[in-house]
Amino acid sequence: MATISRLGVNPLPWILGDMGYLLNPDVIRTALRDVRGVGFRSMTVEIPEGMPTAEYRTYFDEAGMGFAPGYFSAAFHDRRQHAAAVEGIRRHAEAHVELGLSTAFIANDLVPERIAAPAVGAGGDPQISAIIAEGMAAATEAAAAIGVRYGLHPHVGSLVETEEETRAVLDATAGSPLGFGPDTGHLRWAGATPETVIADYADRIIALHVKDVDPAGRAAALESGADYMSATLKHHVWIEPGRGSIDFAAVFAALPADWSGWTILEVDVPHLATPVESTRASWDWLTTQPFCAVRG
């Protein structure tokens, strides 16, 4: 049985909406208040552009909340962007160290062709996977020197979307500081069996995003050829954990017995009516499962 020793929540339900991506002090304060009211004591780091880390910290201090690992992405598929990605991850890692964190997620940027046709590996190219691996190895080497280890986060809509691409990047970076930060929902939407991939790279897992997939929504999105936004906002591919198609007992069983990484709830677009209702249902499910024990 896996033990969840560090549990956090991503505030995306408060940040994403009909108006796009909205991140400002009011959103941060509201999310912190709401997730603390549900029971969470740590929230994913997502610092608004241009906001000093010290100012960001004040909102968490005021709410009595701690920090959970954030997410860094870059155009790793473009070798010309690798130097910029290294500089970007250094800044990202420095902020994490300032907030007391030593792990984070790393992903490739989403690209137009896969936003238009998500979860099917459109235009997959092993050479691109090799370039991504090269860039991520360099970036995570720079971040490790600062004190933060990053885990590969497969993401639908990016060029590390399918199980084949996930394995290609992980295999090509064996021995580098790049760890694995799987997202159960993104793996499942793209056709993978999350527990199988997790078991095969269990020794590299440093953090886990927990989200579920509604099988009816996934099927409708794939059948209609929906783009990423339609799939998530209209067809509601995402659903609160325990309500969809993922076998979370198998997922947690696949983790190492001594695993102590972060478990982060991430339901980007709630299936339930409101962010609070969605987060409360997820909290109730996470903290009562017989196959995992929540500590701390």
- Inform me whether the pLDDT recorded for 18 exceeds 70: no
Closest CA to 104 of 63, 58, 46, 163: 46
Q: What is the per-residue pLDDT for 5?
A: 85
- Inform me whether the pLDDT recorded for 296 exceeds 50: no
User: At residue 254, what is the residue type?
Assistant: A
Mean pLDDT for the stretch of residues 38-62: 97
- Inform me whether the pLDDT recorded for 223 exceeds 70: yes
Mean pLDDT for the stretch of residues 99-125: 97
Higher pLDDT, 161 or 291: 161
Mean pLDDT for the stretch of residues 22-39: 96
- Compute the distance between CA of residue 32 and CA of residue 56 in angstroms, rounded to an integer: 12
Contact call for residues 293 and 1 (beta carbons, < 8 A): yes
Mean pLDDT for the stretch of residues 36-51: 96
The rounded mean pLDDT for the chain is 96
% of the chain at pLDDT higher than 70: 98
Question: 199-202, long-range: CB within 8 Å, 24+ apart, which pairs?
Answer: 199/254, 200/167, 201/170, 202/254, 202/255, 202/256, 202/259
- Inform me whether the pLDDT recorded for 161 exceeds 90: yes
| Lowest mean pLDDT segment, chosen from 14-23, 160-169, 204-213 | 14-23
Q: What is the per-residue pLDDT for 295?
A: 62
What is the pLDDT confidence band of residue 51, given thresholds at 50, 70 and 90?
Answer: very high
Mean pLDDT for the stretch of residues 154-160: 98
- Inform me whether the pLDDT recorded for 102 exceeds 60: yes
Contact call for residues 106 and 72 (beta carbons, < 8 A): yes
Q: What is the per-residue pLDDT for 291?
A: 82
- Inform me whether the pLDDT recorded for 150 exceeds 50: yes
